[in-house]
Structure 1
């Protein structure tokens, strides 16, 4: 009887929170995970890129003078089963200068946008503190030279955070998060137009149907023009959850839809990436039975 009551309660909850996507998938934890952080995996061509702690030759995470971790970008050959092996850093990171994480690439793989930190402290005017705020950089891949021509995007000022860039499939719009004036929660989703990866339009905040009074992070736009992002808004399954929003929908009052378990869990689930086949992809999570840090998961049958 107790079991039947639980089933009825779950059914009623599903009616109450009718914005769940109702789409399941198979999810597996990757063998690359350790007690350190692995997150933000992205497939570009025949390679997979992801973020990970900068480590010593013995595999120990390197910390800065404030006790925080350094992060950099790694690449590895893409595989059919999603496993990541034989990874290597994409650039030699100069310690004390900047981190690299949370990237997005142009369709031809020639340009990368990634999250890093300002070298000098800025004063976050909204929070009234001095801090190394986050910013977004763009780099260009030049044959024979590797990643070069690193530039801070012109709208990133040192007094606010700009992070988690995500290009639209056509490469004409860059989505990201920021905590600039007008932000509704701790961080909101914004966008700018992109022209030849050289010039950028005005920063525009996404509508209040998408942004909440809480935290929105890690946007991603799939090939079918759906926006995926994570939020700790009310009504979730616990911690950060992954939500979807159809950017092509004509419904004025469309609400973001929470993805079902096992994509979401009672822990933090973020940095969702969906391959062009719209059935496989990567997810980052701090869920039960993880390895202790941010773990990478591969999903299929989505």
Structure 2
């Protein structure tokens, strides 16, 4: 059998390696051979501390920690061993430990190294099948319909903000303005267009001279009551600019102003306090509740050329201290044109995040004070041109996009957009309850795992027993819930396209696992011919640790069983190895070794009689571990 040959080959390699060692490793090697991995790790560590470490010792340390699922230490010592080794299997295990510890980039680097050495290995071929980001963006499906607006001109037109049935845009169509040297088009002005009942728009109307000047005016955003408009304007109007001593050209900044509605028009224009002659602030967007202003700026202290910030709008209309949205949103490139929608989704344009070229449109959402993963909206919103000034009504799914893509009427054009299906983020709301009282459990630890079993993030439940996560749509995930004195649970969350998914998770007291003289866990299965502790097994064994910590007088016996494949003697040895690995894992979690014994039962006590033949699943049921309480069981309630 292939797996048996592999096991024998590994054992032979270990034996050959051992013969090359001196007496220094004798004690540690014996502990390792007896599957006493906790002791072996201590002994190998002592050798390192005494200056007797080498590639062999580092490798044995890594293997010891690997077998008791101590991923942090396994990663550390695999890295040390691989400084002077190129063993492909060690590289593979190192990659797995990096992945288990959330170091995906480093894990991928080691997997690439492994794949180059073992190109025909199934693990290598599957790794190399994973697409890069470009196909993922292109193949995620079109979520929007995009149509060039009929009101575009032959000049640059961009923006698109609705306020009570009036559309506000920015355009260079005013031939009465001087041309701007950047693109030889007139300076930008703001226009409004009334929307007709059939969805069409009336002729664009130039805003009054309180708003428009002979310099540039830009995008607008409105407070919920429609009485205040925030918009961008060049600082020349404020006579706030610098002169280049050589060319005598003037260099200004972009500022944000606010105007107050007077009747049906705009008046009382004033600059915001966050403006500065030393940097620009632009692209305002007001939150749906009118309490926060989002904008773009190149002020000092940012991460790149232009970053996205937010600042509170105080009750008196003044603006509070700006806050940078952080490195998850902002890059060394440019992040501009923020738009905060009615459901608090933040859309913005960037040339720093992975995209299709130029500026692409991205989105994220703030959950528990942290920004969710940044996602590219995808085609046809994003293209290989500059795509910006994205706005949307989340209820109707209608909005606007600006782009200089091919096929437009001018330099920049405005496009009408319509959402066809939800974007690929799903808000997963985990609600953790006490199974008996149905009351919410506050402070429970909820961990999200991706569809590859990688840990993504952990967070505690709030006072309502809720923890929220943002995940990719149509991707299966898993939630793991842990709470002192409760039985931990793992729940698979099936992928969906719904924008929100609610998952109720009920927890029982940990004592419910104690049935008569046994601790009844979910079955702990081993892979065929294997004895190392898997992540799934570790999750269940942690429940044993939790019970034994709660009941310090308890002692237990663990028994391990195999299926009937293989000889009786081999199965007895294999089950003994599994029992000892199980015991070692529990000891590694702080349980005194005197409180747990281990015994291999081989194939002598099958759960299912397979003498007449069994399915693969039935054989797996026979490969199990059981936990018998020897003493110290809690008294029945």
Q: Deviations over 1:242-294 (max 9, x none)?
A: 000112x2495732110111111111100001014251111001111112311
Q: Deviations over 1:81-132 (max 9, x none)?
A: 65433210121368865432111011111100000011234359xxxx9611
In structure 2, which of residues 252, 256, 260 is the aligned counterpart of residue 132 of structure 1?
252
After superposition, the Cα gap between the structure-2 partners of 1:15 and 1:94, relative to the gap in structure 1 and judged at 3 Å, is closer
Q: How many angstroms apart in 1 are the aligned matches of 2:365 and 2:181?
A: 43
Q: Which residue of 2 aligns with 1:37?
A: 156
In structure 2, which of residues 179, 184, 188 is the aligned counterpart of residue 63 of structure 1?
179
After superposition, the Cα gap between the structure-2 partners of 1:19 and 1:264, relative to the gap in structure 1 and judged at 3 Å, is closer
Structure 1, unmatched stretches of 5+, are: 1-8
Q: Deviations over 1:111-160 (max 9, x none)?
A: 00000011234359xxxx9611110000101116x211111001101121
* Residue aligned with 1:263, SS: coil
Q: CA RMSD in A?
A: 3.0
After superposition, the Cα gap between the structure-2 partners of 1:223 and 1:211, relative to the gap in structure 1 and judged at 3 Å, is same
Q: Which residue of 2 aligns with 1:104?
A: 221
Q: Which residue of 1 aligns with 2:435?
A: none
The correspondence of residues 1-302 of structure 1 with structure 2, limited to 5 A, is: 12-13=131-132, 24-53=143-172, 55-56=174-175, 62-63=178-179, 69-79=186-196, 83-92=200-209, 97-119=214-236, 120-123=239-242, 131-143=251-263, 146-196=265-315, 198-247=317-366, 249-250=367-368, 252=370, 254-302=372-420
Confirm or deny: 8 A CA contact 2:285 2:338 kept in the other structure: yes
Moved more, 271-280 or 76-85: 76-85
* Residue aligned with 1:200, SS: coil
Q: How many angstroms apart in 1 are the aligned matches of 2:382 and 2:134?
A: 18
Q: How many angstroms apart in 2 are the aligned matches of 1:15 and 1:64?
A: 36
Moved more, 153-162 or 82-91: 82-91
* Residue aligned with 2:256, SS: strand
Q: Which has the higher contact order (CA 8 A, sep 6+)?
A: 1
Relative to the length of structure 2, the TM-score reads 0.42
Q: How many angstroms apart in 2 are the aligned matches of 1:94 and 1:107?
A: 20
Confirm or deny: 8 A CA contact 1:43 1:275 kept in the other structure: no
Relative to the length of structure 1, the TM-score reads 0.84
* Residue aligned with 2:409, SS: coil
Shift of 1:201: 0.9
Matched pairs, number: 285
Confirm or deny: 8 A CA contact 2:175 2:186 kept in the other structure: no
Confirm or deny: 8 A CA contact 1:72 1:93 kept in the other structure: no
- Comparing both structures, which one devotes a greater share of its residues to strand? 1
Q: Which residue of 2 aligns with 1:6?
A: none
Q: How many angstroms apart in 1 are the aligned matches of 2:407 and 2:399?
A: 20
Shift of 1:54: 5.2
Q: How many angstroms apart in 1 are the aligned matches of 2:195 and 2:385?
A: 27
The higher radius of gyration belongs to 2
Confirm or deny: 8 A CA contact 2:334 2:352 kept in the other structure: yes
Confirm or deny: 8 A CA contact 2:155 2:185 kept in the other structure: no
After superposition, the Cα gap between the structure-2 partners of 1:293 and 1:65, relative to the gap in structure 1 and judged at 3 Å, is closer
After superposition, the Cα gap between the structure-2 partners of 1:221 and 1:79, relative to the gap in structure 1 and judged at 3 Å, is farther
Q: Deviations over 1:179-228 (max 9, x none)?
A: 11112111000111002462111111112111111001100011111000
After superposition, the Cα gap between the structure-2 partners of 1:104 and 1:94, relative to the gap in structure 1 and judged at 3 Å, is closer
Moved more, 30-39 or 82-91: 82-91
* Residue aligned with 1:26, SS: strand
Confirm or deny: 8 A CA contact 1:274 1:281 kept in the other structure: yes
